[in-house]
Structure 1
Amino acid sequence: MTNVLAIGFDPHTIPDFDPAPVAAGIEQGSKAFAELGLAEDLLLIDFAELDGRAQAKIVERLQQRQYDCVLIGGGVRKPPALLELFQTVVNLVHWHQPDAAIAFNESPSDSPDWVLKALEQRRNR
């Protein structure tokens, strides 16, 4: 079984944001992971925990098992104001899961496609 950790924001915790489209995309992506035989471990970060608690939860999850790929969601990497968090998350993955492929997505629903591409790149290195 291929183990994938998907890290992103819990859309229900983002202020002044309609969570419905993102929540639907996460659900669609999770179904696609299952259909592809990929074991998805979903870690949704509470937007209010950007004071270090989120990083601690990420480290804890990264230490629980070996992952073949870690997906870092667009909400973590796209807003310029979150660049420091994005850098921290990438480094945490690199330090705690050095053999895992790292993937990024455009939307929650296309996550499995990007994970498959990252896994292929890892196999071909």
Structure 2
Amino acid sequence: MPKKVLAIGIDPAFIDFTTMPRFSLEMFRSYIDREIERVQALGYDVRTCLIDLGDTAEAVTTKALQAEEFDCVLIGAGLRQPRERLLLFERILNLIHRYAPDASICFNTTPADSAEAVLRWISPEAGRRP
């Protein structure tokens, strides 16, 4: 049975691209979709949980975490930055701790290195953790 990964991140629809003029909504969605496909190609069963900036983020995350057991939870870089998202990041991290206490937690640095983050913590074949 493949290892299960939950990828939690800010829905690109909520990103202020005026602060990042080189990027666009379509570009971010494409990066996310491509990276999820890449993680799946490595043998993982991946679920995505895209959240807003706070109105429903905790409820959506809780629902995803309670839906099934996960071997690893990947937290997107957009949830950790900018600094104004610290409280949301802490809330989501505490939900993971509460509802998925046995799951490894990993972090990507961009939408394009999620597979590397997951591979640091679980092997699709053996389920090894460092």
TM-score bucket of the superposed structures, by smaller chain: 0.7 to 0.9
| RMSD, matched Cα | 1.7
Instruction: Give the alignment partner of residue 21 of structure 1, picking from 24, 27, 47.
Output: 27
Give the residue type in structure 1 aligned to 2:97: H
1:17-76 superposed Cα distances (whole Å, 9 cap, x missing partner): 5212211210110121121011110111134xx13x210110111011000000110000
Report percent identity of matched pairs.
38
Structure 1 SS opposite 2:95: helix
Q: Match for residue 83 of structure 1?
A: 86
Question: Could you tell me how far apart the structure 2 residues matched to 1:76 and 1:54 are?
Answer: 11
Indicate the residue corresponding to 2:21 in structure 1: none
User: Alpha-carbon deviation of 1:13?
Assistant: 3.1
Deviates more, 1:7-16 or 1:62-71: 7-16
More helix by share: 1
Please report how far the alpha carbon of residue 79 of structure 1 lies from its aligned counterpart in structure 2 after TM superposition.
Answer: 0.8
The whole-number CA distance in structure 2 between the counterparts of 1:93 and 1:118 is 16
Contact 2:121 2:129 in 1 (8 A): no
1:107 aligns with 2:110: yes
Alignment gaps of 5+ in structure 2: 19-23
1:64 corresponds to which residue? 67
Q: Distance in 2 between matches of 1:30 and 1:89?
A: 20
Are residues 25 and 2 of structure 1, via their aligned partners in 2, closer, same or farther at CA, if it must alter by over 3 Å? same
Match for 1:85: what amino acid? L
Q: Tell me how far apart the structure 2 counterparts of residues 12 and 88 of structure 1 sit (CA, whole Å).
A: 21
Which residue type is aligned with residue 9 of structure 2?
G
Deviation, structure 1 residue 123? 3.3
Corresponding pairs, count: 121
Q: TM-score, normalised by structure 2?
A: 0.85
Q: Which runs of 4+ in 1 moved over 6 A?
A: none
Partners in 2 of 1:12 and 1:110 — Cα distance?
A: 20
Q: Give the Cα separation in 1 of the matches to 2:91 and 2:121.
A: 20
Structure 1 residue runs of 5 or longer lacking an equivalent are none
What TM-score do you get using the length of structure 1 for normalisation? 0.88
